[in-house]
Structure 1
Amino acid sequence: MTKELTTLTPLAEDVFEGLQADNKYLPSKYFYDARGDELFQQIMHLEEYYLTRKELEIFQTHKQAILEAINGAEPFRIIELGAGDGLKTKVLLKHFMEAKVDFTYTPVDISGNVLEILKSNLKAEIPGLKIEPYEGDYFDALAEIAESPEKDIVFFLGSNVGNFSEKEAVGFLTKLQEFLKEGDLLFMGVDLKKDPAIILNAYNDEHGVTREFNLNLLDRINVELEANFDRNQFLHYPYYNPHTGECRSYLISKVEQAVTIMDEEIHFNAWEAIFMEISKKYDQKQLKELATAAGFIPQKTFFDSDNWFADLLWLKEK
């Protein structure tokens, strides 16, 4: 028996679809409830999680070069997809304000909680900043915003593109560029291939914060969908494949068990896995191929001092 999906909330629909699949999975977008937001803030400050630190270094080091590459001589709008707490973006926003360029900042996030905190903080920290938050889906936001006459620069930072497989990334970026006008830009953070041990440690920290981040989704399902997951019966298991550049995270059932969700029973075999998240790393050849496949022309690349991370400026093809 399978749950009738047409009568369910989006969370319930996606959970049942994922857990009733032959290879079980849960969409990573549901990590971000209030507790998930809090845990991810902790992850970003972990010693092992170098991604935030390296992208922040790029912004601090190259902020003027980034502004020049964007061409701040004309009014523009920054549309940041998945804005989060804006920790890194603030570096650029402050610099752009100091340079007296004419721009509007539109942070887009699925979490209204995050957007409220971000708006409040930015108003206090950067007086005079024009900010127009948008809560919801990326493409819903782009459909409403991208028709504005000013130049748009879409920020997609933090290696969020790594949450897609390569095929999914091409599809996502191709769809994204279809919302852009001629002359619009994509400014995208990408994690690069490096020592596999460094990569794996970023998703398997010694304090167990990333483990807690994954298990929190089971807690959310328990609360919102009247489920009875026992988090102690699941193992957090990440692994990195240096050939594909994919770091994949799983929760693995330690025992044979049945979990009830909204009166529906989901069976788990012992050592059966739930795929939770992908974090893909790229090399330069793959990035050039990705740009071409998605309809962008690479303009400029900014690196941190170790060449672990890159921020790419791509132009929409005519």
Structure 2
Amino acid sequence: MIQIDILLSEDQIAQEFMDALERHDLPEKFFYWFPLSIRAWINLCGDGAYRNYVRSHSVLQNHAAEIVSMLPSEPIELISLGAGQGTKDFLIMEHLQKQGKYLNYIPVDASQGLLEIACQSAKDKNLACRGLKADLNNDSHLTEMQAILDEKPRLIMMLGNTLGAFDPLKFASKLDNIMRPQDFLILDGELFNQTDTLAGYDNPINRQFAFGPLSSVGLSEPNDGRLHIKTDVDNRQPGLYRIRKHFQASQDLKIMLAGETVQILSDTNIEMSWSYKYDRDALTGLITSSGMQLAAEYLSTDKRFLTLLVKK
């Protein structure tokens, strides 16, 4: 039997989904909620065309042993923020075990389905694990998460450009607040390139994933509207870029879920979660400006993905 503590209930996320549609703005968590979205995500991760998954995975494959060797010698609690199905986490856990440093695994995600996969995979490998279903954008959830964690040294991971799914300027300070003096953090991000970055998102299999929340409530493209993908610059700080996605309705739409209805008028734009990208100095600066120290950095072989190991 797997164990998952619940801070974000399914009833709550269903209500928040309808509220988000009313606001015409779908945050990141809804792209991994519906079974159709989970299936689309698993398919995307298994497709070599999804370069960011390949990049993030390959960096850890090549450097996990070295990263783990730099951690404290005592047992370490591994906390993965936005863990998804946990595939990349196990690359680190394997070497924690080999080096006698493994204590416990806590995957944290808003997706019940993906958490079940991560926890079951840990159980199958006889690894101590307790999942946590939470919304990383909810400050009260972050506070409650802190209360249930072990006092042992912790390795916190935020992989697969997950920081880019939030406001990185705000979330970097939240990470700093979570970190304790003996803790380490592994974090990665895509280094922006106009052509390559856009091509990584505007392709058939990624569009299918991006459209998942709307497909799950009966909408289709192009019959009900179009998904538009573009890049822009966040001028709050040099070196911050965004992939922006929005759905533009081509007719009046009625969306029903759990007995509730939302009306979407023709030509309405629904924002579909941004994804931040960086220059190298912007990403390292976000993390170190709050007081954390850079311990090591690793580039993917194509130099488009940067993984950082930092400590308090």
TM-score by length of 2: 0.82
Residue 92 of structure 1: aligned partner: 92
Rounded Cα–Cα distance in structure 2 between residues aligned with 1:264 and 1:112: 24
1:268 aligns with 2:248: no
SS in 2 for 1:281: strand
**Match of 2:79, SS?**
strand
Aligned position for 1:216:
212
Distance 2:245 2:206 in 1: 10
Superposed CA offset, 1:157-193 (max 9, x none) = 11011112xxx22222212322332221221121112
Q: Which residue pairs with 1:225 in the alignment? A: none
Could you say which residue in structure 1 is the equivalent of 2:164?
A: 162
SS of the residue 2:278 aligns to: coil
Tell me, which stretches of 5 or more residues in structure 1 are unaligned? 1-8, 223-227
Q: Tell me the SS of whatever aligns to 1:177.
A: helix
Q: Does 1:142 align with 2:145?
A: yes
**Which position in structure 1 is the counterpart of 2:307?**
311
The CA deviation at 1:91 is: 1.7
CA contact (8 A) 2:240 2:279 kept: no
Q: Distance between the aligned counterparts of 1:203 and 1:105, measured in 2?
A: 31
Change (3 A) 1:18 1:295: farther
Contact 1:193 1:281 in 2 (8 A): yes
Length, aligned pairs only: 289
Report what 2:45 is aligned to. 44
* Separation in structure 2 between the aligned mates of residue 303 and residue 12 of structure 1, nearest angstrom: 39
In structure 2, do the counterparts of structure 1 residues 37 and 264 end up closer, same or farther at CA, with 3 Å as the change threshold?
Answer: closer
- Aligned: 1:153 with 2:155: yes
Task: Read off the aligned partner of 1:266 and give its amino acid letter.
Answer: Q
Instruction: Give the unaligned 5+ runs of structure 2.
Output: 1-10, 137-141, 234-238
Shift of 1:291: 1.6
What residue is the counterpart of 1:6 in the other structure?
A: none
More divergent stretch after superposition (239-248 vs 155-164): 239-248
Q: Does 1:58 pair with 2:56?
A: no
Give the aligned residue type for 2:91.
V
- Over 3 Å counting, the alpha-carbon distance change for 1:18 and 1:203 in structure 2 is same
Contact kept, 8 Å, 1:27 with 1:277, in 2: the verdict is: yes
TM-superposed deviation, 1:60 = 1.5
2:225 matched residue in structure 1 = 234
Cα distance in 2 for residues equivalent to 1:74 and 1:36: 39
2:286 & 2:263 partners in 1: Cα distance?
38
Secondary structure of the corresponding residue to residue 29 of structure 2: helix
| Contact 2:245/2:274 (<8 A) preserved | yes
Q: 33-42 or 154-163: which moved more?
A: 33-42
Residue-by-residue CA offset, 1:203-229 (whole Å, 9 max, x unaligned)? 122xx2322223321244x3xxxxx75
Return closer, same or farther for 1:140/1:134 CA change in 2, 3 Å cut-off.
farther
Matches within 5 A, 1:10-159: 10-11=12-13, 13-21=15-23, 24-32=24-32, 33-71=34-72, 73-124=73-124, 126-127=125-126, 129-138=127-136, 139=142, 142-146=145-149, 148-159=150-161
- Counterpart mapping for 1:188-207 below 5 A: 188-194=187-193, 196-205=194-203
Q: How high is the sequence identity, in percent, across the aligned residues?
A: 23
| Whole-Å separation in 2 of the counterparts to 1:117 and 1:288 | 32
Q: Give the distance between the partners of 1:158 and 1:82, measured in 2 at CA.
A: 9
Which amino acid counterpart does residue 49 of structure 2 have in structure 1?
A: E
Residue-by-residue CA offset, 1:123-177 (whole Å, 9 max, x unaligned): 32x33x222222223415632334x22011111111011112xxx2222221232
TM-score (norm 1): 0.81
